[in-house]
Chain A
Amino acid sequence: RKEVEQDPGPFNVPEGATVAFNCTYSNSASQSFFWYRQDCRKEPKLLMSVYSSGNEDGRFTAQLNRASQYISLLIRDSKLSDSATYLCVVSSNTGKLIFGQGTTLQVKP
């Protein structure tokens, strides 16, 4: 089983849609969780941290379910500029970060 698993997609959605990505992780001892965004041919950039209580940043909501070992990212009112690959990131036992393969989102006009 992969340490961090994501559906690679692509997710094709119209502008204004709500889209959700899930990510599962194998290490129940993981303590830190993040979502990164990577645009085509660019470096990954931190989108948001994921806290146990869930957190929201504008149109983006991240949630953590420790019991089921999954993380979600919800994007409301999708914009064309949201088109990118979204990487789920989880800490290992040693604290090192493990990156998922990413989920590609294409928002269409």
Chain B
Amino acid sequence: ETGVTQTPRHLVMGMTNKKSLKCEQHLGHNAMYWYKQSAKKPLELMFVYNFKEQTENNSVPSRFSPECPNSSHLFLHLHTLQPEDSALYLCASSQGRGGDYGYTFGSGTRLTVV
């Protein structure tokens, strides 16, 4: 596989469920990101990892818990979500901070909380 792969592509979960989103990048990048994009809204940066260390948490509620075991894998653990958390969750990676070649995005997980 090449690029940035996200699974699952679609997820429907109840407010009491626990689920995890997975992201894997095959580009040799050292930085990975989680973004949230709600309908007709801009991208919202959630978390930044650089060499598997979290370098940024943009005041994200604790019901979202990221995990980065290595530079190629990123998870977003979800629990007790709210309906307003329904959105497209995008993972991205970059070499360095992205200034040279930008970010490469995965296809996203479309999450619906019921």
The answer to whether A and B interact is yes
Interface, chain A (partner B; CB < 8 A) = 31-32, 34, 36, 41-46, 49, 87, 89, 91, 94-97, 99-102
- Evaluate whether A100 and B42 lie within 8 angstroms (CB atoms) in the complex, with A42-B107, A43-B90, A44-B105 already known: yes
Establish whether residues B99 and A32, one from each chain, have CB atoms under 8 Å apart when the complex forms. Answer: yes
Residue of A nearest to B97 (CB): A95
- Evaluate whether A36 and B102 lie within 8 angstroms (CB atoms) in the complex, with A41-B88, A99-B42, A102-B42 already known: yes
Establish whether residues A97 and B98, one from each chain, have CB atoms under 8 Å apart when the complex forms. Answer: yes
Residue of A nearest to B39 (CB): A41
Establish whether residues A43 and B96, one from each chain, have CB atoms under 8 Å apart when the complex forms. Answer: no
Q: Please give 8 more A-B residue pairs, beta carbons under 8 A apart, in addition to A94-B97, A96-B97.
A: A43-B90, A43-B108, A44-B43, A91-B98, A91-B99, A95-B98, A97-B99, A101-B42
Query: 6 A–B contact pairs at CB < 8 A?
Result: A32-B98, A43-B90, A43-B106, A89-B102, A96-B48, A97-B97
Q: Which of B43, B88, B102 has the most A CB atoms < 10 Å from its CB?
A: B102
For B, the interface residue count at a CB cutoff of 8 angstroms equals 22
Give the residues in chain B near A99, CB-CB below 8 Å. Answer: 42-43
- Cα(A101)–Cα(B42), bound, Å: 4
* Pick from B56, B97, B105: contact of A43, CB under 8 Å: B105
Give the residues in chain B near A87, CB-CB below 8 Å. Answer: 43
B100 at the interface (CB under 8 A from A): yes
Q: Tell me the minimal C-beta distance from B46 to chain A in angstroms.
A: 13
Q: Tell me the minimal C-beta distance from A79 to chain B in angstroms.
A: 23
- Cα(A84)–Cα(B41), bound, Å: 14
Q: Tell me the minimal C-beta distance from A28 to chain B in angstroms.
A: 16
